[in-house]
Amino acid sequence: MDGPQRIAFIGLGIMGAPMAANLLKAGYQVAVYNRSPGAAERLAALGARPATGVADAVRGADVVITVLPDTPDVEAVFEEILAAGAPGLLHADMSTIDPGASRAMAARAAEDGLRALDAPVSGGEQGAIEGALSIMVGGEAADVAYARPVLEAMGSTVVHVGPSGSGQTVKAANQLLVAGIIELVAEAIVLVEASGVDPEPAVRVLAGGLAGNRILDRKAAGMLARDFTPGFRVDLHHKDLGIVLAAARAAGVTIPLGALAAQLMGALRAQGHGGSDHTALLGQVDRLSGRGRGTS
Ligand code: NAD
């Protein structure tokens, strides 16, 4: 077969572990590596080859996938991929990182005869488990076509959005929307509750009208219960909003609500809630409103 068969998968956290599991289910040969132990052993039980490091994982691989926390993590692993990867190896970075860093890595990969895609994801842990992620891909069309079957084993929506870095730019727009919508849903819930209206039917009717959105559909129940178990950690969304603001500055655009959302996320983190789900923005609205329910 012409398509990729052997995958190296680096970074087996909340997102990476179920994504790698879906590749195994789809019949790919997958070598896995994670900095902290445990996750690789769990995937080995599903048929993965646990690798001793990045170099060992990429040995013989057609595609190497990274799902790591932040830009410096991806850049460090990328250096190891460059050093160990055979010509033609395709690196698909599915982390959320700075678009400029993605472009720079793609250029360096090309100089060394490797190929690179930025392919960040949306859909959260549930989307990763269900293989239903939305994947926004930046890079060369031929490389996207080569990697597409692999990406489609992890996502139900795979869209080539433009050249290197474009996927990360679209992901930044995604994170801007998600942060702003969570904050507005949080404010709406607290407003309704503080006015003496039962928030559960309120959320149901709001979800059916023009204000309806996926955060209301998927997150409101947890928010009403003040259950802020991650999910998607405040630390990571804080990182993403830094990327959003830098991207806006680079593009010369002004995003006032995005800047405010970034400040609110930063305040939540500074107050010790970095490990909570990003819906903990609701707890902050509680506290700002003197309502004292905002535990997380
Ligand atoms: P996570 O912290 O759960 O997982 C990251 C994993 O990478 C950890 O297991 C860590 O041990 C490993 N790691 C870090 N540095 C490494 C290295 N040098 N070599 C090998 N392994 C290393 O994070 P996550 O929630 O899975 O998120 C990963 C990426 O996906 C982030 O960029 C995040 O912004 C993005 N993302 C997350 C979600 C979500 O809902 N959690 C949704 C969309 C996108």
Q: Where are the domains of the chain?
A: 6-163, 169-288
Nearest CA to ligand 1 atom 22: 35
pLDDT tens-digit map of 112-163: 999 999 999 999 999 999 999 999 999 999 999 999 999 999 999 999 999 9
Pair 271, 296: CB distance under 8 Å: no
Catalytic residue numbers, as ranges: 171
Tell how strand 133-138 and strand 121-122 pair up: antiparallel
| Residue 220 beta carbon below 6 angstroms from any ligand 1 atom | no
145: left (phi over 0), alpha (psi -120 to 50) or beta: alpha
Pair 103, 164: CB distance under 8 Å: yes
Q: Return phi, psi of residue 42, to 5°.
A: -65, -35
Task: Quickly name the fold that domain 169-288 has.
Answer: N-(1-d-carboxylethyl)-l-norvaline Dehydrogenase; domain 2 (1.10.1040)
> Which residue(s) pair with 135 in the sheet?
121, 158
Task: Fill in the amino acid letter for 227.
Answer: D
In angstroms, the CA 295 to CA 287 distance is 9
How would you write the pLDDT of the chain (296 residues) with one tens digit per residue? 479 999 999 999 999 999 999 999 999 999 999 999 899 999 999 999 999 999 999 999 999 999 999 999 999 999 999 999 999 999 999 999 999 999 999 999 999 999 999 999 999 999 999 999 999 999 999 999 999 999 999 999 999 999 999 999 999 999 999 999 999 999 999 999 999 999 999 999 999 999 999 999 999 999 999 999 998 999 999 999 999 999 999 999 999 999 999 999 999 999 999 999 999 999 999 999 999 765 55
Reported pTM? 0.95
> Which residue(s) pair with 8 in the sheet?
31, 64
| Residue 124 beta carbon below 6 angstroms from any ligand 1 atom | yes
**The domain over range 6-163 is classified in CATH as 3.30.420.10:** no
Atom of ligand 1 nearest to the CA of 239: 34
Other residues' Cβ atoms within 10 Å of the Cβ of residue 254: 8
Q: Mutation test of ligand 1: which of 58, 67, 130 has the most ligand atoms closer than 8 Å to its C-beta?
A: 67
Nearest CA to ligand 1 atom 3: 13
